Amino acid sequence: MKTINRRRFLGMSAIAGAGAIITPGLTACKSSSQTALAAEEALTTGKATAEAADGKIETRTLGKTGITVPVLSMGVMRADNPAVLRAAYNSGITFFDTAHGYQNGKNEEMVGEFFKDKDRSTFYIATKGNPGRRNVPDDYGKAFEEMLNTSLRRLQMDYVDIYYLHGPGSVEDVTNPQVLAAMKKFKSEGKIRHIGFSTHANKPEQIDAAIETGVYEVILISYNFKLNILPELDRAIERGVKAGLGFVAMKTMVGGGTAPAEPWNNNSGPIDGAACLRWVWQNKNIATAIPGFTSFDLLDNCLQAAHNPKFTDEDKKYIAQLGSQELLYCQNCGKCVGDCKKHLPIPDIMRAYMYNYGYRQPSLSKETLAELALGADVCKGCTGCAVKCPSGFKVKEKIAAIAPVVNVPDRFLA
Ligand code: SF4
Ligand code: SF4
C-alpha cells in the first residue's frame, strides 16, 4: 500500500509560514492548501481533483489562552470517516471539536484513534461534557469527573486543550458553583488546559455571566446571519473579547440547507457554506469557525473559503436573499418556550428536524429525540397549535415531519 508521512505530505503543498509558535512548547502548521487536499484525496480515495491556488489561511488568537488557530477549524461531530479527518489535518487545520455525547462516544473514539500517533504539538482538541444536562446527579463533581475521564480515555490523551460545559441552558448553569469548582479542579490537575462552555441560547446574558465569573476562557457560540439578536450579541462578544475571552463559532451554515417551503416537501437544497463562512469571518472577534464537514467536497468548499476569505458583493446578495427565507435553523431564542400545551422542548425538536432535513442525518435526529424520550406521535390529540415562532417556523408540521423517525430501525438510517 502506498503510504506517505505527514511531514512529506505537507512538503508536497506550498505551505507558507508553517510552524508558527502557538503557545509555549506547541507548534502547528498555520496554513493549508488546496494542493494538500487534492493530494490527500488522491491518496485516500483515488479520486482526481482539481488543483486550487495555494496560500495562507489567516490565523487568530483565542483570547487570553494564547492559542492561535486558522480561522477554519473542524467540528468533528457528524464526521464518521477518519479519511476526512486526515484530509483536514493534512491541509493545515489544527483545531478539532468533539463532545462526550457525539455518536454515543464513537466520535471521540475516532478522534483518539486518528491522533494517537500524531505529534501532540501539532493539533488542539476541544471536547464537551455536562453531567446535569437532563438530570442533575447527586454528586455533581464526581459525575463530571467520570465524564471527563471517559472522554480522555476515548481520546487516548492525557489532556484536552479546551473543555466546554456542554450547552448550559441558563445563566445559572454557567455560574453554577459546582461547575466552576469542577472545572478549576480539572485544570489544576492538568486534565484540561482551558475552560469554556458552548451555548445556543441566551447568549448575551451567558457571555456577561461568564465574564463575571473570571473562570471561563473560551465560549463556543452559534453564530450566523440569521440570528435576530445580532447587534446585541456582537456587543456582548466585544465585551467578552475585552475581558480576554476567545470566541469560536458554530452553526455557521444555518442548518446546512435551504428550507423546504413546507416540511413535508423535502426540496431543501445545499447552502453555500463558503459565503456563510466569509460572513462570519468579517467579525474579527470570532477567532475560528468549526463547520461540521463530513465529506471531501464540503472540506474543499470550506478550504476554498478560507483561502479567499473576503466577503464579496455576491456573497452579500446571496446572504440578503437567504435572510428573508425560513431556512432550517432554529435560533434557540426561547421565545416559544412555555407556548406548547404539552410542554414539549420545541427548540430541541427543531434541532432534530434540522439534523434530518439540513444535515441529512436521520440517525442523529433519532438519537436527539430518543434522548428527549419523545414518541412518534407527540402532538396526538392536540388541536390548534399554540406555539408561536417569530422566525415563522410551522412547528406542528415540522414535528409531524420528524417525530416518526424514532420508529425507524437503526439499520435503515444513515
Ligand atoms: S422554534 Fe422559533 S421561537 Fe422557538 S426557539 Fe426556535 S426560533 Fe425561537
Ligand atoms: S400541536 Fe404539538 S407543538 Fe403545538 S401545542 Fe400541541 S403538542 Fe405543542
pLDDT at 319 over 70: yes
Task: Tell the residue number behind the cell numbers 483570547, with chain if given.
Answer: 63
CATH of span 6-321: 3.20.20.100
C-alpha 398 to ligand 1 mean position (Å): 12
- pLDDT at position 166 is 95
pLDDT at 38 over 60: no
- pLDDT at position 269 is 64
∠ CA 282-200-270 to the nearest 5 degrees?
60
Alpha-carbon gap, residue 92 to 103, rounded angstroms: 25
Q: Is 334 in the pocket of ligand 1 (CB under 6 A)?
A: yes
pLDDT at 373 over 90: no
Q: Residue 336, by phi and psi: left (phi above 0), alpha (psi -120 to 50) or beta?
A: alpha
Instruction: Report the residue among 254, 331, 398 best suited for mutation to probe ligand 1: largest number of ligand atoms under 8 A from its CB.
Output: 331
Ligand closest to Cα of 375 equals 2
C-alpha 357 to ligand 1 mean position (Å): 17
250-276 pLDDT per residue, tens: 999 887 655 443 444 455 567 889 999
pLDDT at 141 over 70: yes
C-alpha 134 to ligand 1 mean position (Å): 20
Q: Is 241 in the pocket of ligand 1 (CB under 6 A)?
A: no
List CB contacts of 286: < 8 A, sequence separation 6 or more: 60, 223, 237, 247, 248, 249, 280
Instruction: Report the residue among 336, 348, 353, 397 best suited for mutation to probe ligand 1: largest number of ligand atoms under 8 A from its CB.
Output: 336
Does residue 102 carry a catalytic annotation?
yes
Mean pLDDT of 11-33: 30
The rounded mean pLDDT for the chain is 84
Q: Is 342 in the pocket of ligand 2 (CB under 6 A)?
A: yes
Q: Is 142 in the pocket of ligand 2 (CB under 6 A)?
A: no
Specify the DSSP class assigned to residue 292: -
89, 102, 124, 359: which one is catalytic?
102
pLDDT at 138 over 90: no
Atom of ligand 2 nearest to the CA of 346: 3
pTM of the model: 0.82
The set of cell numbers assigned to 303 is 478550504
pLDDT at 390 over 80: yes
- pLDDT at position 52 is 33
How many CB atoms are closer than 10 A to CB 404?
Answer: 14
Q: Is 64 in the pocket of ligand 1 (CB under 6 A)?
A: no
Mean pLDDT of 385-391: 91
The rounded percent of the chain whose pLDDT value lies above 90 is 61
114 vs 357, residue with greater confidence = 114
Distance of CA 185 to the CA centre of its chain: 26
C-alpha 350 to ligand 1 mean position (Å): 8
The DSSP line for 234-262 is HHHHHHHHHTT-EEEEE-TTTTSBPPPSS
386 vs 257, residue with greater confidence = 386
Q: Is 396 in the pocket of ligand 2 (CB under 6 A)?
A: yes
Q: Is 393 in the pocket of ligand 1 (CB under 6 A)?
A: yes
Residue 57 and residue 32 in contact, taking contact as beta carbons nearer than 8 Å: yes
Ligand closest to Cα of 328 equals 1
The DSSP line for 198-237 is EESSSHHHHHHHHHHHS---EEEEE--TT-TTHHHHHHHH
pLDDT at 347 over 80: yes
Q: Is 403 in the pocket of ligand 2 (CB under 6 A)?
A: no
Q: Where residue 68 falls among pLDDT bands split at 50, 70, 90?
A: very high
- pLDDT at position 268 is 53
The set of cell numbers assigned to 170 is 441558563
C-alpha 379 to ligand 2 mean position (Å): 5
The DSSP line for 148-209 is HHHHHHHHT-S-EEEEEE----SHHHHH-HHHHHHHHHHHHTTSEEEEEEEESSSHHHHHHH
Alpha-carbon gap, residue 224 to 204, rounded angstroms: 15
Q: Where residue 116 falls among pLDDT bands split at 50, 70, 90?
A: very high
Residue 222 and residue 251 in contact, taking contact as beta carbons nearer than 8 Å: yes
The DSSP line for 343-395 is ---HHHHHHHHHHHHTT--HHHHHHHHHHTT--TTTTTT--S-----TT---H
- pLDDT at position 50 is 28
pLDDT at 161 over 50: yes
Domain with CATH 3.20.20.100 in the chain: 6-321
Q: Does residue 85 sit in helix, strand or coil?
A: helix
How many CB atoms are closer than 10 A to CB 372?
Answer: 15
pLDDT at 394 over 60: yes
C-alpha 330 to ligand 1 mean position (Å): 5
pLDDT at 330 over 70: yes
Q: Is 396 in the pocket of ligand 1 (CB under 6 A)?
A: no
165-209 pLDDT per residue, tens: 999 989 999 999 999 999 999 999 999 999 999 998 899 999 999
